[in-house]
């Protein structure tokens, strides 16, 4: 059988090397300006999940044993049991030969067997993946705009000034690698605003948890996956409670690019410029902590005018849209089999 399903911990060193090679071939063809993946800690990246989540890997090799496509399926546990996220890559030279459809058929069958009802996938709008997922029945749920801040173009004087503009009654703290125990409860409470205002069907537990223990697990999972966390929090005096936060990670597998995750301000403390101050402060800390960076990427939904304005002021530039697709597992299987 050319297609093999396994858990990432069972992958060999050759599997890991080939997995990276497929990713980079696809990247070179579809988005040549993107940074390439490295095998450094790639196994950790694939193996690491939250305690209640599960990941399966799918490898498709040709008759000569060369890996020409692969897929990953993460199935969430906890409050989001029944939902999963797919990541799939195919070598450009193998496209049009049914590799992607075979991988997706295997992913959907595994998801159904494990009780997963809904699958989602992120697709870069300028790549051939859009047509593929449209044809197999995925529906576009959300459009996100990716913005890039290129390190060589940063106006550091402007960033330093923005980081220093802080309303009276607040202070900022920077933390590398996680959140101190003394801040976990109020930090998690601010994070809960993500779930309450979610515009997507799947908000991973490490993003929207209002429970300190879940947040602790999520930060530990990022570290196990080789992803260095950088966090700035806004604290309200005199009690030092977290009322705002911004998060970013730098992955060992792509260390020249930072991924901005979430910037959240408690509703009672908005309109004080905290988001701008926190994001600017984080950039100044990154300049010292991650000197190898070449850019930072972040995403916003189309209606988030306030966030886009902040990003623009800091130097972020919109470069491409990303589509969040969703599919019902049963309907997906039916569609794939009907079109087989």
| DSSP-assigned states of every residue in 139-178 | EEEEEEEEEEEEGGG--HHHHHHHHH---TTEEEEEEESS
Instruction: Compute the mean pLDDT over every residue in the chain, rounded to the nearest whole number.
Output: 92
Dihedral sign for Cα 22, 293, 230, 169, please.
negative
Band (198; pLDDT cuts 50, 70, 90): very low
Q: How far apart are CA 336 and CA 135, in angstroms?
A: 9
Contact by Cβ (8 Å): 165, 276: yes
Handedness of CA 238, 245, 52, 198 (dihedral sign): positive
The pLDDT score that the predictor gives to residue 18 is 98
pLDDT-based confidence at residue 79 (cuts at 50, 70, 90): confident
Per-residue confidence (pLDDT) for residue 325, from 0 to 100:
96
Answer whether 3-144+324-338 and 155-314 agree in fold.
Answer: yes
Q: Which residue has the higher pLDDT, 262 or 16?
A: 16
Entry pTM: 0.91
Rounded Cα distance, 202 and 181, in Å: 27
Whole-number pLDDT of residue 192: 83
Per residue in 309-334, pLDDT (tens digit) is: 999 999 999 999 999 999 999 999 99
Alpha helices, DSSP H, located in the chain: 13-30, 42-47, 99-113, 129-135, 156-164, 184-196, 205-208, 212-224, 274-289, 305-314, 329-338
What is the domain partition of the chain in residue ranges?
3-144+324-338, 155-314
What is the mean predicted confidence (pLDDT) over 334-339? 90
pLDDT at position 213, please?
79
Q: Which two tokens stand for residue 304?
A: 């988030």
Residue 200 pLDDT class (50, 70, 90 cuts) = very low
CATH topology of domain 155-314: Aminopeptidase (3.40.630)
For 112-140, the pLDDT digits (tens) are 999 999 999 999 999 999 999 999 999 99
The second-level CATH assignment, the architecture, of 3-144+324-338 is 3-Layer(aba) Sandwich (3.40)
């Amino acid at each position: 059988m050319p297609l093999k399903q396994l858990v990432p911990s069972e992958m060999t060193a050759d599997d890991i090397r080939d997995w990276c090679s497929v990713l980079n071939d696809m990247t070179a063809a579809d988005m040549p300006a993107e940074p390439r993946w490295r095998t450094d800690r790639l196994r950790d990246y694939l193996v690491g999940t939250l305690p209640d989540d599960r990941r399966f890997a799918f490898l498709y090799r040709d008759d000569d044993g060369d890996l020409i496509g692969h897929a990953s399926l993460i199935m969430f546990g906890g409050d989001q049991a029944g939902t999963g996220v797919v990541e799939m890559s195919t070598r450009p030279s193998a496209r049009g030969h049914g590799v992607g459809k075979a991988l997706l058929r295997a992913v959907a069958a595994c998801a159904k067997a494990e009780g997963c009802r809904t699958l989602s996938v992120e697709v870069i709008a300028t790549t051939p993946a859009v047509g593929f997922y449209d044809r197999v029945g995925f529906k576009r749920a959300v459009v996100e705009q990716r913005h890039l801040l290129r390190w060589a173009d940063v106006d550091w004087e402007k960033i330093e000034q923005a980081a220093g503009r802080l309303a009276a009654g607040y202070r900022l703290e920077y933390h590398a690698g996680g959140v101190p125990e003394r801040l976990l409860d109020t930090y998690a409470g601010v994070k809960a605003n993500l779930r309450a205002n979610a515009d997507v069907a799947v908000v991973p537990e490490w993003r929207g948890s209002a429970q300190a223990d879940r947040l602790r697990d999520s930060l530990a999972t990022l570290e196990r996956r080789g992803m260095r966390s950088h966090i700035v929090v806004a604290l309200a005096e005199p009690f030092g409670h977290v009322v705002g936060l911004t998060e970013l990670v730098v992955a060992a597998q792509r260390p020249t690019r930072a991924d901005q995750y979430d910037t959240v301000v408690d509703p009672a403390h908005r309109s004080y410029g905290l988001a701008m101050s926190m994001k600017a402060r984080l950039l100044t800390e990154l300049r010292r902590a991650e000197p190898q960076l070449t850019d930072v990427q972040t995403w916003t939904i189309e209606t988030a005018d306030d966030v886009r304005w902040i990003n623009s002021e800091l130097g972020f530039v919109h470069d491409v849209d990303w589509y969040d697709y969703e599919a019902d597992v049963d309907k997906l299987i039916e569609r794939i089999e009907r079109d087989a």
